[in-house]
């Protein structure tokens, strides 16, 4: 299917396109069924008085979110953000300029909540929430991956992600849900993970992994499940149990725990790090999903919570958990809770608690893709910018060949993979391919000029998205690697226990 | 108000009404921003990890337009000069309200003239960018053009008074000071001045209800004004049900 998609050509530089109005107005994700909406407490189908309900919800959100209120008021249409969104760069559709995306909501806000907008709608660009406007909303608020790149460049820090989240919550409240997110949220709340993987299935998978690693290395690395009293509860995105190259990273975590002699466990009740509650902007849902993790940590009597490689989930964990489900006073205060697996592994390496042989990765020339939500919505370590330094230090410890991509495309200026924010669904494949354009350009350049053959990353969505879309650009999916996959290949397993 | 001409009565009334509207409208907005909760920690990272760092970040945005500089150098240079000129011109105008004139304002008097010339030029530049760059044209609303035209006209009428049809500064100042001391005298019968004043009143009345409120926005923007310390200090959401 991928090869039929209109794939932009790689030109060797990231170009600002001439606008093509309406280019992607037909891109829209499938709508959620009655059941999926009801699961989350939303009306099953579009309610009769959807306009009224939507405006009511907007009013409610305006009183609850300073961000929404201030952002809707403050934009001066300076255009600083206009050419910064990967979806605009890849699709040329002007409604994918962050400011234009915001205007879709702002025009309704003006009409219903401002004096100027209700008195002089034409002058101020105010509009009612008509059927047409709702059609635009559904389409373009699902062409935003909530990556926050626009907010970096805005003189007021206006974050289009906040507006997309609000729009999605308003639509959900009116019974217009998105299938991909709502279906998955139902599963995580029912079964404990996005894949709907039951406890026996999960146990099987972990067993299989144990056999696999032992066969390959001769060392009996354990993958414990629901082990009460373990030191560490590991929360990984469920893709880590199945997908490639996620699973290679997951084996990496296990080897690190094994070598450090630290007991750990996965929980079958909270077997998901991802939290799509953020994507749909619904606080209560996000809180419910996160609460499972807290409950599991309590139940298993662990000392600390360590989390795996996932971008938006790390944002939720680092920035929101303390508010949503904190304080973590029942865990050992010696540790930062939650700890990112990269923080954990680097710390072990820094104090020589585990050994690596970096020649094991000599066949690789590695670059690092900063995941958007890690870069612009979280931190690692003790100082500002740790989310960039720690993964890089870690890569350099396990591989001798590291190359950076174009400086306009890394760290806080990184481009989203094109599949974040609840858009990682088949029916949006064209958008996903086009949205990956800026990253594909930057990657292609270092592959050509510097011999890069591996792009490491720490996000489950990035990994799934890139393995799927990079082939459209003629880039082999083997390039995509989990950061802990590199750790996994370089770590020296002695099989000894205790540090 | 005995002895005031009908026109003077009208302008005195408008001046007081609009100033009240401006102040009350502005304060009401600020109050609303200040009291609306921010449920979650959402600073755009990397962000400062201390209050002092946040103050520096905000000051950078306010005085240097740091994020805009990152985003677009052409808009930055136009926008920066425009606001800089506006600030100087406003400062210079204090000399029409204050007796005696403070030293800082006297200084601004010299530079202020050039700022007054720069203001309409930068307004035209920003206007042209809106018309000529396809992305900006797509996002500009009537209101965006309206403000630029309004401020441009205010600047031009001001310059006309300074350079061609010289206004009688003494009677203008007398009128302004009389407004402030709440004992209004007759408005100077200078058509350019009356036009200038009218446009300013329109701008002031429009201000609190428009995007011009952005000058307050940056201080209340959670992505800029929050400290990055969510793992160490628990941020409480006041409306969360737990
Ligand atoms: S948050 Fe990211 S995807 Fe959304 S508008 Fe901004 S740059 Fe585009
Ligand atoms: S950078 Fe900010 S103020 Fe400028 S157009 Fe974009 S959202 Fe509006």
**Inside any domain, residue B238:** no
Q: Which of B41, B48, B146 sits opposite A384 (nearest CB)?
A: B48
Number of structural domains in chain B: 1
Distance CA A473, CA A471 (A): 5
ipTM: 0.94
Q: What is the CA(B88)–ligand 2 centre distance, in A?
A: 25
Q: At CA A379, angle to CA A375 and CA A382, rounded to 5?
A: 145
In a domain, B137, yes or no: yes
What's the A83 CA to ligand 2 centre distance in angstroms? 11
Residue B66 lies in a domain: yes
pLDDT at A496: 43
Three-state DSSP state, B111: helix
Break chain A into its structural domains and give their ranges: 34-183, 185-403+452-490
pLDDT at B53: 97
Q: Is B181 exposed, middle or buried (0-12, 13-18, 19+ CB in 10 A)?
A: exposed
The mean predicted confidence, pLDDT, of chain A is 95
Which of A67, A75, A322 has its CB closest to that of B211? A75
Residue B103 has a pLDDT of 81
From residue A373, alpha-carbon distances to A288, A315, A370 in Å are 21, 6, 9
The per-residue pLDDT for range B7-51, each reduced to its tens digit, is 999 999 999 999 999 999 999 999 999 999 999 999 999 999 999
Residue B58: give its domain's CATH number: 1.20.950.20
In the prediction, which pLDDT does A39 show?
Answer: 93
B206 reaches A (C-beta below 8 A):
yes
Q: Are B221 and A157 in contact (CB under 8 A)?
A: yes
Encode pLDDT of A165-204 as tens digits.
999 999 999 999 999 999 999 999 988 889 889 999 999 9
Q: What is the tens place of the pLDDT at every residue in A127-153?
A: 999 999 999 999 999 999 999 999 999
Q: What confidence category does residue A498 fall into, taking pLDDT thresholds of 50, 70 and 90? A: very low
Nearest ligand to the CA of A106 is 2
B60 is a domain residue: yes
Q: Mean of the pLDDT values across residues A3-9?
A: 76
pLDDT for the residue A4: 64
Read off φ and ψ for residue A285, nearest 5 degrees. -65, -45
CA separation for the pair A194, B110 (Å, rounded): 67
Summarize pLDDT for B165-181 with one digit per residue, the tens.
888 889 999 999 999 99
- Confirm whether B233 is domain-assigned: no
Task: Report the pLDDT value the prediction gives residue B100, as an integer from 0 to 100.
Answer: 84
Q: Is B20 on the interface with A (CB under 8 A)?
A: no
Looking at residues A480-487, what average pLDDT do you find? 98
Both tokens of residue A60?
């409610």
Instruction: Identify the domain containing residue B180 by its residue range.
Output: 6-227
Mutate to test the pocket of ligand 1, among A149, A162, A163, A415 (most ligand atoms within 8 A of CB): A149
What confidence tier does A157 reach under pLDDT thresholds 50, 70, 90?
A: very high
pLDDT at A482 over 50: yes
| Ligand 2 center to A98 CA (angstroms) | 8
> Given this model, what pLDDT does residue A222 score?
95
Specify which residues A305 forms β-bridges with.
A233
Predicted local distance difference test score (pLDDT) of residue B99: 81
Percentage, residues of chain B above pLDDT 90: 79
Q: What is the pLDDT of residues A16-38, one digit of tens each?
A: 999 999 999 999 999 999 999 99
DSSP annotation of A218:
S
Token pair recorded at residue A148: 């926050």
Q: Do A157 and B45 touch (CB under 8 A)?
A: no
Q: What is the mean pLDDT of residues A434-455?
A: 97
Q: Is the minimum distance from the CB of A154 to ligand 1 under 6 angstroms? A: no
Per-residue confidence (pLDDT) for residue B1, from 0 to 100: 47
Would you say residue A443 has pLDDT above 90?
Answer: yes
Is the residue at B240 inside a domain?
no
Residues A343 and A392: their CA atoms lie apart, in Å, by 11
Choice among A427-431, A494-498, B55-59, B68-72 with the minimum mean pLDDT: A494-498
Please identify every stretch of chain B with a pLDDT value under 50, giving residue numbers as ranges. 1
More confident residue, A69 or A196: A69
Q: Is residue B236 part of a domain?
A: no
| Surface of B (151-190) touching A: CB under 8 A | none
pLDDT at A2: 44
User: What CATH code would you report for A34-183?
Assistant: 1.10.1060
Distance of CA B137 to the CA centre of its chain: 23
Does B237 reside within a domain?
no
- How far apart (Å, rounded) are the C-alpha atoms in residues B57 and B63? 10
């Amino acid at each position: 299917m991928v090869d039929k998609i209109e794939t932009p050509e790689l030109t060797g530089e990231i170009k600002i396109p001439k606008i093509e109005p309406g280019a992607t107005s037909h891109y829209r994700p499938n709508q959620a069924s009655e059941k999926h909406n009801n699961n989350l407490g939303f009306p099953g189908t579009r309610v009769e008085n959807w306009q009224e309900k939507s405006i009511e919800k907007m009013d409610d959100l305006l009183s609850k979110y300073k961000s929404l209120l201030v952002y809707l008021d403050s934009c001066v249409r300076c255009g600083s953000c206009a050419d910064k969104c990967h979806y605009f760069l890849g699709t040329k559709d002007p409604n994918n300029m962050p400011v234009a995306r915001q205007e879709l909501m702002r025009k309704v806000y003006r009409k219903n909540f401002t004096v100027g907008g209700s008195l002089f709608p034409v002058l101020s660009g105010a509009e009612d929430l008509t059927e047409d406007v709702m059609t635009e909303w559904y389409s373009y608020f699902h062409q935003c991956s909530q990556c926050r790149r626009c907010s970096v460049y805005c003189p007021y820090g206006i974050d289009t992600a906040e507006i997309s989240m609000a729009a999605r919550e308003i639509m959900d409240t009116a019974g217009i849900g998105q299938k991909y997110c709502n279906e998955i949220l139902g599963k995580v709340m029912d079964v404990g993970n996005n894949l709907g993987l039951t406890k026996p299935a999960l146990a099987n998978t972990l067993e299989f992994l144990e056999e696999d690693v032992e066969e390959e290395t001769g060392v009996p690395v354990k993958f414990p499940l629901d082990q009460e009293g373990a030191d560490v509860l590991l929360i990984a995105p469920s893709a880590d149990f199945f997908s490639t190259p996620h699973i290679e990273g997951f084996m990496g975590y296990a080897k690190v725990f094994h070598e450090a002699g630290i007991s750990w466990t996965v929980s079958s009740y909270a077997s998901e790090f991802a939290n799509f509650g953020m994507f749909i902007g619904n606080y209560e849902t996000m809180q419910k999903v996160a609460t499972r993790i807290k409950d599991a940590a309590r139940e298993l009597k662990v000392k600390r919570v360590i989390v795996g490689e996932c971008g938006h989930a790390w944002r939720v964990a680092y920035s929101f958990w303390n508010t949503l489900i904190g304080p973590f006073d029942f865990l050992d205060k010696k540790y930062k809770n939650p700890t990112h697996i990269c923080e954990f592994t680097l710390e072990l390496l820094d104090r020589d608690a585990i050994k690596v042989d970096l020649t094991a990765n000599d066949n690789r020339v590695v670059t690092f893709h900063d995941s958007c939500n890690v870069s612009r919505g979280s931190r690692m370590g003790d100082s500002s910018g740790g989310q960039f330094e720690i993964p890089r230090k870690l890569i350099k410890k396990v591989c001798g060949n590291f190359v950076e991509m174009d400086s306009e495309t890394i760290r806080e200026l990184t481009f989203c993979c094109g599949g974040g924010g609840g858009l990682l669904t088949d029916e949006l494949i064209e958008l996903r391919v086009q949205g990956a354009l800026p990253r594909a350009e930057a990657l292609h350049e270092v592959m050509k000029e510097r011999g890069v053959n591996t792009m490491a990353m720490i996000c489950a969505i990035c990994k799934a998205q890139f393995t799927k879309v990079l082939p459209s650009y003629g880039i082999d999916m083997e390039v995509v690697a989990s950061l802990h996959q590199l750790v996994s290949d370089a770590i020296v397993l002695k099989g000894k226990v205790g540090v | 108000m005995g002895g005031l001409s009908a026109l003077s009565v009208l302008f005195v009334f408008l001046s007081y009404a609009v100033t009240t509207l401006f102040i009350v409208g502005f304060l009401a907005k600020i109050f609303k921003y200040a009291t609306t909760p921010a449920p979650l920690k959402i600073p755009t990272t990397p962000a400062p990890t201390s209050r002092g760092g946040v103050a520096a970040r905000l000051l950078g945005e306010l005085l240097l337009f740091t994020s805009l500089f990152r985003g677009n150098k052409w808009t930055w240079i136009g926008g920066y000069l425009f606001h800089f000129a506006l600030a100087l011109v406003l400062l210079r105008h204090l000399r029409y309200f204050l007796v005696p004139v403070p030293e800082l304002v006297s200084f601004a008097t010299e530079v202020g003239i050039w700022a007054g010339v720069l203001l309409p030029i930068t307004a035209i530049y920003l206007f042209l960018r809106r018309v000529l760059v396809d992305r900006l044209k797509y996002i500009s609303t009537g209101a965006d053009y309206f403000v630029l035209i309004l401020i441009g006209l205010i600047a031009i009428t001001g310059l006309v008074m300074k350079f061609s049809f010289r206004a009688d500064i003494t009677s203008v100042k007398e009128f302004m000071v009389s407004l402030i001391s709440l004992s209004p005298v007759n408005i100077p019968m200078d058509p350019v001045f009356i036009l200038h004043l009218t446009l300013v009143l329109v701008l002031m009345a429009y201000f609190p209800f428009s995007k011009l409120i952005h000058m307050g926005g940056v201080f209340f923007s959670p992505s800029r004004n929050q400290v990055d310390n969510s793992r160490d200090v628990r941020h409480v959401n006041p409306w969360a049900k737990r």
